[in-house]
Amino acid sequence: MSYVFDTTKPIALGADHAGVDFKNTINAWLQEKGYTTKDFGTYNTDSVDYPDFAHPTASSVETGEAAFGILFCGSANGVAMTANKHAGIRAGLCWQTDIAELTRLHNNANIICIPARYVSIELAKEMIEKFMSTAFEGGRHQNRVNKITCA
């Protein structure tokens, strides 16, 4: 499979307590596939505040330290809202492979947000594969993406 992100850079991962098991499983899966990852936590199921993990994950993508990011929480809404506060971040909430593809194809997303309470780990892996292998289409979508950031 061909990937559109710079695979020489790490993949940033973050999660709250509801998504930590998914994050840990995906982290191990990515490393088994030969990718470098940067795990921004959380590291256990104790209740935490999702912004504490979404912000550093988004910052690493925003600065170019990471190729792209993967965030997990129960619904993925909180981490998506938090990540999208960062300039240059386009975090997409995904619950199907078609949505993961469209967030890249039409929105040039650089963080995929996955609702751990509503999808299986196998579906999460499929969405991540689709996200990683889909290039931004550009064209008519470029003007729209250019209008996302507030100046």
Task: Report the CATH fold assignment for 11-146.
Answer: Ribose 5-phosphate Isomerase B; Chain: A, (3.40.1400)
* Residue 114 CB-density burial (10 A; 0-12 exposed, 13-18 middle, 19+ buried): buried
* Residue 14 CB-density burial (10 A; 0-12 exposed, 13-18 middle, 19+ buried): buried
Per-residue confidence in pLDDT tens, the chain, 151 aa: 566 888 899 999 999 999 999 999 999 999 999 999 999 999 999 999 999 999 999 999 999 999 999 999 999 999 999 999 999 999 999 999 999 999 999 999 999 999 999 999 999 999 999 999 999 887 889 888 888 887 6
Calpha distance 151→139 (Å, rounded): 22
Which positions are annotated as active-site residues? 73, 106
CB neighbour list of residue 104: distance below 8 Å, 6 or more residues apart: 4, 130, 131, 134, 135, 136
Task: Show me where the domains of the chain are located.
Answer: 11-146
Q: What is residue 5's predicted lDDT score, i.e. its pLDDT?
A: 86
Here the tokens at position 121 are 């780990």
pTM: 0.95
